[in-house]
């Protein structure tokens, strides 16, 4: 139950952070676009039909590869945006990476 609560927090918290990061005048469009795409893909995993269409079926290599790639992308963006001192976007990327990690754990156990 606690993992489900943490998962939903990871699902919801990056949304306003990414929106705030996009509203700043000194935004990085390519990096924020990748972060937004990863966030949208993560949100689609909450709806079973979209998850099957976009990420793949349960226990499939496509699902696990998508999760692993998105974890690596989110961590790399978190580090890069932290170096660039875009703290809000960096925090969103770290929360998103943790959410992808939880999604991988949930999908490998259930």
Segment 52-100, tens digit of pLDDT: 888 888 788 888 899 999 999 999 999 999 999 989 999 999 999 999 9
Element (DSSP H or E) covering residue 23: helix 14-23
pLDDT class of 5 with cuts at 50, 70, 90: confident
Task: Give the rounded percent of residues in the chain with a pLDDT score beyond 70.
Answer: 97
Q: Return the closest-CA partner of residue 36 out of 7, 62, 15, 11.
A: 15
Q: How far apart are the C-alpha atoms of 85 and 108, rounded to whole Å?
A: 35
Quick check: 106 and 11 in contact, CB under 8 A?
A: no
Token pair listed for 64: 């696990």
Q: pTM for the full model?
A: 0.86
- Cα–Cα distance list, 106 to 3, 46, 64, 76, 110 (Å): 9, 12, 11, 23, 6
Residue with tokens 């609560």: 5
Residue 14: pLDDT over 80: yes
* Residue burial 60-80, b: 16+ Cβ < 10 Å; e: rest: eeebeebbeebbebbbebbee
Residue 25: pLDDT over 80: no
């Amino acid at each position: 139950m606690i993992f489900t609560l943490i998962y939903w927090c990871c699902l919801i918290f990056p949304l306003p952070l990414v929106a705030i990061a996009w509203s700043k005048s000194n935004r990085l469009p390519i990096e924020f676009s990748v972060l937004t795409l990863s966030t949208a893909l993560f949100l689609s995993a909450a709806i079973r039909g979209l998850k099957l269409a976009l990420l793949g079926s349960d226990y499939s290599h496509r699902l696990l590869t998508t999760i692993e790639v998105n974890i690596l992308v989110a961590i790399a963006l978190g580090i890069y945006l932290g170096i660039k001192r875009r703290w809000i976007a960096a925090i969103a990327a770290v929360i998103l990476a943790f959410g992808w990690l939880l999604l991988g754990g949930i999908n490998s156990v259930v």
